[in-house]
Amino acid sequence: MNEVLKQIGEIGIVPVVVLNDAKDAEPLAQALCDGGLPCAEVTFRTDAAEESIRIMAEKFPNMLVGAGTVLTTEQVDRAVAAGAKFIVSPGLNPKVVKYCVEKNIPITPGCANPSDVEQALENGLEVVKFFPAEQAGGLAYIKAIAAPYVGMKFMPTGGINPKNVKEYLACDKIHACGGSWMVKGDLVKAGEFDKIRELVKEAVEIVKESRGK
């Protein structure tokens, strides 16, 4: 497996970040690293995404900074030029997936049914996002969908929280979980980076408990 994806699996939780102002990128990355999750999926939902990725990648070179909500190959280029080490998308866009595979850029596209998973397999992917996880059927659905695709691992995202994340992480089909609960927009906006760091620490403890470490 690709080294970046391997590291994401070891970290266990990918904070999904929506930043409206790139000035928040540095203190947020600091809080994530200090709390023990040196990783972020910065979503291309806002204009500040590209600059935020650039700042995080420059100031925290050891951090796994990736781009989320990547819907076009042009966004892939912008994200990677800014320093993104991985790409995530809510769905499986064959054009975007092929583009990333050709360029050796780790991509984790969203899959919500067996046909999506088969497209991912055809492109040689070993990890896919499962989105929106809770709303689309949760862990029971992942276990059912994973059964025929023996080597495939899933990164559920959407509706994951400190309560249900344990059960996901304890399942051997789960590579890591994505979630925004520790980096909520209102906390970022209010500059509550200490609170974010504490929520991140709690998340790290949950990963350890779930994996029996």
Ligand X SMILES: O=C(O)C(=O)C[C@H](O)[C@H](O)COP(=O)(O)O
* Token pair belonging to 26: 């540095």
DSSP 8-state class, residue 157: B
Peptide bond into 132 cis (omega under 30): yes
* Token pair belonging to 157: 């995202």
Catalytic (active site) residue 95: no
Contacts of residue 84, defined as CB under 8 A and 6 or more positions apart, other chains included, come to 42, 53, 57, 65, 66, 67
Closest to ligand X by CB, 57 vs 112, is 112
User: Applying CB under 6 A, which of residues 54, 67, 158, 197 lies at the interface with ligand X?
Assistant: 158
User: Applying CB under 6 A, which of residues 46, 108, 180, 210 lies at the interface with ligand X?
Assistant: 180
Enumerate residues 58-87 that contact ligand X by CB under 6 A.
Answer: 68-69
Closest to ligand X by CB, 157 vs 210, is 157
Catalytic (active site) residue 153: no
Stretch that binds ligand X, among 4-12, 27-35, 115-123, 158-166 (CB under 6 A): 158-166
52 lines the binding site for ligand X (CB under 6 A): no
CA-CA distance, 92 to 119, in Å (whole number)? 8
Structural Rg of the chain based on CA atoms: 16
User: Applying CB under 6 A, which of residues 32, 39, 43, 139 lies at the interface with ligand X?
Assistant: 43
Annotated catalytic residue, options 41, 50, 85, 153: 41
Closest to ligand X by CB, 133 vs 152, is 133
Q: What is the total count of residues that contact ligand X (CB under 6 A)?
A: 14
Strands 13-17, 39-43: pairing kind: parallel
Closest to ligand X by CB, 36 vs 158, is 158
Annotated catalytic residue, options 85, 129, 153, 173: 129
CA-CA distance, 190 to 213, in Å (whole number)? 34
CB–CB of 72/100 below 8 Å? no
Least distance CB 191 / ligand X (angstroms): 20
φ/ψ of residue 90, rounded to 5:
-70, -30
CA-CA distance, 174 to 167, in Å (whole number)? 10
156 lines the binding site for ligand X (CB under 6 A): no
User: Applying CB under 6 A, which of residues 99, 131, 154, 193 lies at the interface with ligand X?
Assistant: 131
Catalytic residue list: 41, 129
Q: Which residues bind ligand X (CB under 6 A)?
A: 16, 43, 45, 68-69, 90, 131, 157-160, 178-180
